[in-house]
Structure 1
């Protein structure tokens, strides 16, 4: 197999991964609190044996080394990261819709354990508890937040919850010591590696606050993602054409070698 086929194969696979991430970002362009996935590339250098040889000297070697000492750089996917930049706020008028400005996450209790989320589209269930779209309880500083049957719900910037003027608890907003360690669990929730509990820390109240009656829009730039999709699609097609052309050249060369003269 020629080197061009190997390079084109890895290039096509890299762009396929990139296309999948872009498609997922676009599919969540209306999901509150969604954070976009990003990929980065790096150059991988291929070395020949002659790359480690000293430069030719006239008294020892008159001809150039074959293959000549040269570093061949090939782009490869380096890592997949989460874009944790702040999304815009959208007013909804719903007192149970909450948006965090600044670093921080809501804590949510699920059957698999506690997870973090930026999606503040909450509801009151039949038991009067504050829950997510999936029915998972939103955690306060002393357990799940219970609203009861009161009518007027007020939530302050620091998370204090009042129902009909009576304080019933406080929503727990936490920060993460190392956001790069967060992994997507699904349903706009985050966890540590292998769904482990991430290391959390207290928020900086000067930077982080809760906004009642708002949701945080996803930080997905639809136009930018569409442009990136077109670019990745064309790159994939170019790599596929290289593979096809190389195969045709190999087949043509094989047929000519086998011809009788």
Structure 2
């Protein structure tokens, strides 16, 4: 009976975690480049616990045109690299801008990385009309002058590197550099790969699982209490 209570409690824990992931997925339905999270639960029988681990759906989101020359989308494998105060982060979110001091940065002001480091275009921004181009291979040029190559990387362990909306690393980022398997599209952005209908279906299913597990915990707890009462007689 005690074992049954533990098993049902683990099911409740898994259902709660699943609901958290679904809520996060739906909240980021319109977040550029967001990758949805799913869950699986691994039972650790020896410890009488369950470990709830997340999985990341890395499938391609739809790509749409913005006509903004600083919006980039990746077709195929790969992620952009940005440098933050906590290390490097990898992202599919390619809505970039140029900072006041000429650096290519993300929405939060973090420098976007090229193969040779931060990308600075200040000396090429001379107040005249600026023509910024990015090739399919990530080669960035300003007024037909090559400035940098975007550092596009590939990682395998998405689940372990997940940090907020992006993925992180403290390793040498050049270890992850991609030369092929991707195509950069300028003037486009990638939508999230969240399907709201699937998330809502999952939410209904998990709600039923939660209700079943909760009823089982309540029933077993009541049965245990009655057994204890009989033992006192």
TM-score (norm 2): 0.84
Which residue number in structure 1 is paired with residue 182 of structure 2? Answer: 208
CA distance in 1, matches of 2:27, 2:154: 27
Aligned pairs, number: 227
1:47-66 deviation digits (Å, cap 9, x = unpaired): xxxxxxxxxxxxxxxxxxxx
Which structure has the bigger radius of gyration?
1
Query: Residues 255 and 169 of structure 1: is their aligned pair in 2 closer, same or farther, counting only changes over 3 Å?
Result: closer
- The equivalences for 1:9-88 within 5 A come to 9-41=9-41, 79-88=53-62
Match of 2:166 among 158, 173, 189: 189
Which residue number in structure 2 is paired with residue 73 of structure 1? Answer: none
CA distance in 2, matches of 1:199, 1:10: 41
SS at structure 2 position matched to 1:127: coil
Which residue number in structure 2 is paired with residue 174 of structure 1? Answer: 153
Note the residue ranges of structure 2 that are not aligned, 5 or more in a row.
none
Match of 2:87 among 113, 132, 141: 113
CA distance in 1, matches of 2:167, 2:39: 18
SS at structure 1 position matched to 2:83: strand
Query: Residues 226 and 212 of structure 1: is their aligned pair in 2 closer, same or farther, counting only changes over 3 Å?
Result: same
1:134-190 deviation digits (Å, cap 9, x = unpaired): 1001111222122333532111111122223332222221223x345651122x321
Query: Residues 161 and 196 of structure 1: is their aligned pair in 2 closer, same or farther, counting only changes over 3 Å?
Result: closer
Cα contact 1:39–1:77 (8 A) shared by 2? no
SS at structure 2 position matched to 1:168: strand
TM-score (norm 1): 0.76
SS at structure 2 position matched to 1:231: helix
1:81-112 deviation digits (Å, cap 9, x = unpaired): 22212111121111111001111111111122
- The equivalences for 1:89-168 within 5 A come to 89-148=63-122, 149=125, 151-168=130-147
CA distance in 1, matches of 2:61, 2:144: 31
- Between 1:128-137 and 1:21-30, the stretch displaced more is 21-30
Cα contact 2:60–2:75 (8 A) shared by 1? yes
CA distance in 1, matches of 2:135, 2:173: 26
1:172-226 deviation digits (Å, cap 9, x = unpaired): 21223x345651122x32124xx55567344243x31100111111111211111
Residue 6 (structure 1) aligned with residue 6 (structure 2): yes
Query: Residues 246 and 125 of structure 1: is their aligned pair in 2 closer, same or farther, counting only changes over 3 Å?
Result: same
Structure having the larger proportion of residues in helix: 2
CA distance in 1, matches of 2:160, 2:12: 28
Cα contact 1:191–1:198 (8 A) shared by 2? no
CA distance in 2, matches of 1:241, 1:88: 41
Q: CA-atom RMSD, angstroms? A: 2.7
Note the residue ranges of structure 1 that are not aligned, 5 or more in a row.
47-75
Cα contact 2:29–2:194 (8 A) shared by 1? yes
Match of 1:233 among 202, 207, 219: 207
SS at structure 2 position matched to 1:17: helix
